[in-house]
Structures are given as structure tokens and as C-alpha cells.
Chain A
Amino acid sequence: MIDIAWSQFTPGAALTGGLLIGLAAASFLLLNGRIAGISGILGGLLVPARRDILWRVAFLAGLVGTPSLWLLFSELPPIQIDAGYPALILAGLLVGIGTRYGSGCTSGHGVCGLSRLSPRSLVATLSFMATGLITVFVIRHLMGA
């Protein structure tokens, strides 16, 4: 039996934000002809190919710069990071190696790949969703953190 956290559930904001993410992926695809896969865009910077650098840095600068732009109009929304530093380092390494080894993350496989109806991305998405769910279950309910 699943208990829904009604007080935290924000379907309107989630859907609006999702449409914006879709719009970003759609414009990147239809204007630049590329998949908006963030791990691939970042990882591609670590394989130096001279003329390929500027647009990657520009996309990432957009992501990193969003909170600064947001601050011109409003207060930043809450960002709560409960994980401690050793956990963050371990998680970062796993996300870094895993997304490159699996050729994508939530954006490339989850958003773009599923939109493209790619069976490969469906398998990837189900794989990271499954281990994500299991990991949270183990940490919160078995280890009791």
C-alpha cells in the first residue's frame, strides 16, 4: 500500500517545470539537431575536440546560471541536501561513471530517449529507476537513515 505525501505533492509546478524541460529539449533538438543529454554534454568536454567546446560550455553555463537569473526576480526555492560529504562523493563517482558507461542520464535517456520511443533508453531508464528505488529503500528503511 502506497501512502501519498499530499502535503509535498506539487502536480501543477511539476507539470509546468516538465513542460519547460520538454521545451528546452525540443528547441535543442529542432534548432541544433542534438539530444539534450546533460551527462553527454558535460562528459564530451572531457574528450577534447577543439571546435566542440563552446556550445557545450554554453549549455552548461545556462544550467548553472539559472539560479542567478532567478534571483533577479524572486527568492531561490529550497534546496535540501541531506546526504553527508562521504555519501556525496560516492554518489558523484557512481553518477559520473554510470552515466557515461550507460550513455545517458535522466535527461538523455529519461526525457529524450523515451520521447524518441527508443527501446534502449527505456531499458536504461527502467534500470536506473529500479536501482534508485532500491537504494532509497535500503538507506531509509533497512539502514534507517
Chain B
Amino acid sequence: MKYSFTSLLAGLIFGLGLMVSGMANPEKVLGFLDIAGLWDPSLAFVMGGAIIVGLVAFAVARRRTLSFLGFTMKMPANNRIEPRLVIGSMMFGIGWGIAGFCPGPALVALGAGEIKAVVFVASMVAGMMAFEVIERIKRPSLGDTRGYQKN
């Protein structure tokens, strides 16, 4: 219960950050990706601000095996740079460039009642389900802890 409450809170603060920064607006994101047109560098400042805080948080987290609420720290165990990492990320980038939406902002825009965001999110979930089906066919034994270590 506590775990879910802090999750809700983190989701709300994340969403607030996306709205304050203007990143829930695809036009603004595309303004950053359009370096050959009139370039809006705002997204770099969003990433910079988030990473400044993140660097401190991960430096603290690195020395801990339990979180401040006593939960197990679940850090990604996979350090390999495989083809699927690059190919998947490149596919994501193409979709990002077409619509100006990545998953977080799309969910916030959906919450703002944008029909186009609803269509994007539905399609994104369909894509994620397609991935699960493909993975299940390839490796039937995979569970939800894929990519994570349990300690």
C-alpha cells in the first residue's frame, strides 16, 4: 500500500514536471528535434535539470541495498550493449520524431483529454503487446523480472 502511494506521488510529480517544462506538448518536443529549422533548445534544459537531481539520487542509491522505505533496490542487471538495444531505441526515435510523443508526455496529454493522445497511447500499448507476444514465442519461460536482478 505504501509502495503504491509513493508510486502515485512519483507519477504525479513526474507529470507535473512534464507539464511545467512544456514537454507534454509534442510541438515543443519537435521544436527541439528540428535542428535544421528554428531550434528550440528547451528539451536539453529539461534533461539537464532532471539529470542534475538524478546524479545525486543514484550516487546515494549506489551505496544502498534497501530503499529508505526498506524495499529492495532493483537496479538493471544488464550492462550489455546488444543489437536489440540499438535497434529498439532507433525504432523508438523514429516514432518519437513522427509524433513528438514519448510514453510519459503521451500519458499526460491523454489525461488532458486529447483524443489524438488517446489514439497514440492505444497504438503504443498495441505495439508493447506485440512485443510481448513475439518474446513469448521466442522464449516461453520469461517472467516479469526480465532484465532485473533480485537481491
Q: How many residues on chain B are close to A (CB under 8 Å)?
A: 120
Whether the Cβ atoms of B124 and A96 lie closer than 8 Å is yes
Q: What 0/1 pattern do residues 27 to 62 of B give for CB contact below 8 A with A?
A: 110110111111111111111111111111110110
A106: B residues at CB distance < 8 A: 96, 102-104
Q: Which residues of B contact A (CB under 8 A)?
A: 3-28, 30-31, 33-58, 60-61, 66-69, 71-76, 78-81, 84-104, 106-114, 116-117, 119-132, 143-144, 146-147
Within the complex, which residue of A14, A25, A128 is in contact with B92, where a contact is CB–CB below 8 Å?
A128
Q: Which residues of A contact B (CB under 8 A)?
A: 2-5, 8-11, 13-36, 38-39, 42-44, 46-47, 49, 52, 54-70, 76-83, 85, 87-107, 109-112, 114-120, 123-125, 127-137, 139-141
Q: Name B's interface SS.
A: helix
If A101-B84, A120-B81 are given as contacts, then 17 extra A-B residue pairs at C-beta distance below 8 Å, sorted by A number, are A21-B14, A22-B49, A31-B69, A35-B74, A54-B3, A66-B11, A79-B25, A90-B123, A98-B94, A100-B132, A102-B85, A103-B85, A111-B51, A124-B89, A128-B92, A130-B93, A135-B93
